[in-house]
Amino acid sequence: MRRLFLLCSLALTLVYAKDGVEFKYAPKNLERTYPTAQNQILSYNNILENVRTSIVNISIKKEVSSNQLGANPFFNDPLFKEFFKGYGDIPQDRIQQALGSGVVVSQDGYIVTNNHVVEDANKIIVNLAGDKKEYEAKLIGKDEKSDLAIIKIEAKNLNAITFYDSDKVKVGDVVFALGNPFGVGETITQGIVSATGRSGVGIVEYEDFIQTDASINPGNSGGALINSAGHLIGINSAIISKSGGNVGIGFAIPSNMVTTVATSLIDSGKYTRAYLGVNISDISDDMSKFYNDNYGALITSVEDNSPAAKAGLKRGDLIIEINDKKIGSASELKNTIGSYAPSKTVTVKFLRDKKVDTKNVMLATLDSKTVNGELEYKGLKLTQINSTHKQQLNITINGVLVINVDEKSEAYSAGVRKNDIIIQVEDNEIATLDDFKKATSSKDKKRVFIYRKGYILAIVL
């Protein structure tokens, strides 16, 4: 008994054995510490009062078609519209309104928000906290792959938010989500950081989310996730929910990614990612044994004439560091390379045959490069048709399939739509992505022949 009392008095963890299994028990005399007394109130008001004026309300107006007739270029022909005038067969466009949030990042009016908040907007209106004036904003630039956009209003002496290094954010940190959900006015919700480095969620192409249980409701998109010191650690982006309501799983784009993308958008109106030229995957526990129990991004293929090929990287290499930053997964490598500007030289540390090696690699641009079997060209995202596509689309022809079209692109204006199949460029029949790249290697406009639902049309692109 005396021995037990001594263990308790030293506030050590007690261990009891039962049926050969030891269970750990906390000391029985742990003291509770109360954050406040009856004559004190625990509050973050001083922190939040300062940062709340950095959060803005964003409302947009955009024209949307009430059907999908616009997918056929013939419906844009004025003669065609005149022919059906009065028959009601071509519904009129209507105005759609939406609400979101944004964060002031400079005193002279630059504001960061989500791309999906301002996408396709014909008019962007910004309301500042405590200011009854409405400001019309100009879209400076956007990056769909990270879901970030920069807008600007003509205003001065705004309260720009203070950024925090998101690499230093820890699970369990107290955080606040600020925004304007449902257009009811400023709201603030509290929670903690549930996880960092979340990827594979399927929201955008480049994912490195901070996960939080602080409520992120509709209208909070583009708002701020701040720490208890009032510093920005992320831009609220999305939630996981079956009903649309908050269930405690929200995602924010980390501040380090925000600063990288936002700086480029402000400087040039676009964000161009660097390109390494490898296809990569994660590795299993069994696979890691072949790499001295290390994890990283496994190279599964190297593209010809790519930066990786020129540096001598090979299939089977496991990339574990980029510029001394540890790489633990394929998504970490993708995000890290994507954060650099083209033409930057990086040091790649990798494992080959259980030996560590390093290579200096000069990165290239991602524009018009084939990545994971997909090619980006003038706002189009293309992939080569395979047997699965043929079965799904009930076709037998060869070509390259349009899997996405930027609605602001030249290709969209020319009439190219998702699920179109490009079968010929000028006199060159197209069967592969390489065929398409060779046929479009010059900058001259070309005739492009497209197969769409049983008929073939020609456009100039």
Residue 66's pLDDT is: 47
Mean local confidence (pLDDT), 178-185: 74
Q: How many CA atoms lie within 13 A of 322 on its CB side?
A: 24
Q: Residue 78: phi, psi to the nearest 5?
A: -55, -35
Q: Which amino acid is at 52?
A: R
| Per-residue pLDDT band at 248 (split at 50, 70, 90) | confident
What does each C-alpha distance from 5 to 14, 18, 22, 23, 122 come to in angstroms?
11, 20, 19, 18, 74
Measured torsion, CA atoms of residues 272, 118, 100, 133, in degrees rounded to the nearest 10: 110
User: Minimal CA–CA distance to 377: which of 343, 358, 400?
Assistant: 400
pLDDT tens profile 92-146: 555 557 788 999 999 999 999 999 999 888 899 999 988 888 999 999 999 988 9
Average pLDDT taken over every residue of the chain? 83
The 10s digit of each residue's pLDDT in 399-418 is 999 998 988 788 888 899 99
Instruction: Report pLDDT digits (tens) over 65-74.
Output: 544 444 454 4
Could you report the per-residue pLDDT of 423-442, keeping only the tens digit for each? 999 999 998 888 898 888 77
221 assigned to active site = yes
> In terms of DSSP bridges, do strands 364-365 and 325-326 run parallel, antiparallel, or are they unpaired?
unpaired
Question: Can you tell me the distance from the alpha carbon of 193 to that of 251, in angstroms, rounded to the nearest whole number?
Answer: 10
DSSP class of 166: G
- Asked if 231 is an active-site residue, the reply is no
- What average pLDDT does the segment 193-208 reach? 84
Residue tagged 């989310």 (tokens): 209
Question: Residue 3: its pLDDT value, please?
Answer: 38
Q: Report long-range pairs for 340-344 (Cβ below 8 Å, ≥24 apart).
A: 340/273, 340/274, 341/264, 341/272, 341/274, 342/272, 342/273, 342/274, 342/275, 342/366, 344/274
Q: Which of 116, 264, 306, 329 is catalytic?
A: 116
Sign of CA dihedral 236, 240, 243, 248: negative
> In the prediction, which pLDDT does 17 show?
56
Please report, rounded to a whole number, the percentage of residues in the chain having pLDDT higher than 70: 84
Query: Between these two residues, 20 and 378, which has the higher pLDDT value?
Result: 378
Alpha helices, H only, 104-171: 115-118
Q: How far apart are CA 404 and CA 423, in angstroms?
A: 17
The pLDDT, as a whole number, for residue 206 is: 82
**Residue 389 annotated as catalytic:** no
Collect all residues with Cβ–Cβ distance below 8 Å to 168 and sequence separation of at least 6. none
pLDDT at 387: 76
Give the pLDDT of residue 180: 79
- Single out the catalytic residue among 54, 59, 146, 147: 147
Residue 148 pLDDT greater than 60, yes or no: yes
Lowest mean pLDDT among 85-89, 258-262, 264-268: 85-89
Residue 359, SS3 per DSSP: strand
What is the reported pLDDT for 305?
81
Query: Are 384 and 433 within 8 A, CB to CB?
Result: yes
User: Is the CB of residue 327 less than 8 Å from the CB of residue 296?
Assistant: yes
Sign of CA dihedral 369, 373, 376, 377: positive
Mean pLDDT (whole number) for 30-36: 78
